[in-house]
Amino acid sequence: MRIISGKHKGRKLRAPIIDEIRPTTDFAKTGLFNVLNNHIDFEDIVVLDLFSGFGNIAFEFASRGAQFVDTVDSHPQSIKFIKQFASQIQLPVNAYQSDALQFLHKVHQKYDIIFADPPFDMSDLLDDVLEIVVKRGLLKPNGILILEHEKNKSFSNHPMLFDERKYGKVHFSFFRKTE
């Protein structure tokens, strides 16, 4: 894993190997951020990264100028790594060890971007993430929710869906809150 752009472009994330954690590939991450470049200005946005693993996506947003990124993962080693790496390279990344859905029910912050990437065998959680984010109004005006999922998952009928992208086995669905 590496940071592909921004202040820390090229910096490698040397995270421990844990079987349950599947980082977003550099290929898919590059595609994701190319899409986002057309929709947002990364400077001073507030981001939530759910099921963050080792913070691959969070560090990318922070390197590109996000005001801060909140990361949520249930795995203690993930949280420990994120805290250490964020401190080491001085990026505004906060790490919370929590169940992602419980975090969504309790958080009061509104975000410009919410990114969710649960393990593929738990992709049914994405429906819950989408529902909670919408019901609780966790996106700022024109905020974007991005769900990473396998090809057999579809959100094509959801009224907030505005884009879908496929990068190999990785699929991204983009939802926007509009006024």
Reported as a pLDDT band with limits 50, 70 and 90, residue 11 is low
For the chain, give the percent of residues with pLDDT over 90.
Answer: 58
pLDDT for residue 53 = 87
**149-164 residue pLDDT tens:** 888 888 888 899 999 9
CA distance 58 to 47: 8
pLDDT at 40 over 60: yes
Higher pLDDT, 169 or 135: 135
Half-sphere exposure of 46 (CA within 13 A, CB side): 11
- What the block records as the tokens of 44 is 């001073």
pLDDT for residue 83 = 95
pLDDT for residue 15 = 57
pLDDT at 5 over 80: no
Listed by start position, the domains of the chain span 26-176
Poorest-confidence range of 26-30, 77-81, 87-91, 169-173?
A: 26-30
pTM listed for this prediction:
0.90
pLDDT at 104 over 60: yes
Mean pLDDT for all residues in the chain: 87
CATH class as words, domain 26-176: alpha beta
The answer for residues whose C-beta is within 8 angstroms of residue 148's C-beta and 6 or more apart is 24, 28, 115, 116, 117, 170, 171, 172
Answer for the pair 81, 55: CB distance below 8 angstroms, yes or no: yes
pLDDT for residue 29 = 80
Q: What is the DSSP string of the chain?
A: -B--SSTTTT-B--PPP-TT--PPPHHHHHHHHHHHHTT---TT-EEEEET-TTTHHHHHHHHTT-SEEEEEES-HHHHHHHHHHHHHHT--EEEEES-HHHHHHH----EEEEEE---GGGTTHHHHHHHHHHHHT-EEEEEEEEEEE-TT---TT-TTEEEEEEETTEEEEEEE---
CA distance 176 to 179: 10
**68-96 residue pLDDT tens:** 999 999 999 999 999 999 999 999 999 99
pLDDT for residue 179 = 60
